[in-house]
Amino acid sequence: MNHERSSFLFQQAKAAIPGGVNSPVRAFKSVGADPLFIKKGSGSHIYDEDGNSFIDYVGSWGPMIAGHCHLDVIRAVQETMTSGASFGAPTVLETTLAGMVIDAVPSIEMVRMVSSGTEATMSAIRLARGYTGRDKIIKFSGCYHGHADSLLVKAGSGAATFGVPDSPGVPAEVARLTLTAEYNSLDSVRKLIAENSGAIACIIVEPVAGNMGTVPPREGFLEGLREICTNEGIILIFDEVMSGFRVAYGGAQELYGITPDMTTLGKIIGGGLPVGAFGGRREIMEKLSPSGGVYQAGTLSGNPLAMAAGIATLNIIKQPGFYEALAEKGQRVAEGIAKAARDAGYPIYSTRVGSMFCAFFSKGEVFDWPTASQCDTAAFSKYFLAMLNEGIYLAPSQFETAFISAAHSEDDIEKTIAAAAKCFKLIA
Residues carrying an active site annotation = 144, 239, 267
Q: What single letter denotes the amino acid at residue 50?
A: D
Tell me the C-alpha distance between 167 and 169, whole Å: 6
The angle that helices 71-81 and 304-317 make with each other, rounded to 10 degrees, is 150
Residue 295 CB contacts under 8 Å (≥ 6 apart), including other chains: 289
Long-range contacts of 253-260 (CB under 8 A, 24+ apart): 253/105, 253/106, 253/107, 253/207, 254/105, 254/106, 255/353, 255/354, 256/207, 256/217, 256/222, 258/207, 258/222, 258/223, 258/225, 258/226, 259/106, 259/107, 259/226, 260/107, 260/207, 260/226, 260/236
- Sign of the CA dihedral 244, 246, 250, 253? negative
Identify the three-state secondary structure at position 293: coil
Tell me the C-alpha distance between 395 and 403, whole Å: 9
Question: Do residues 304 and 348 touch, judged by C-beta distance below 8 A?
Answer: no
- Sign of the CA dihedral 413, 414, 415, 421? positive
- For residue 410, the cross-strand partners are none
Largest distance between two CA atoms of the chain: 61
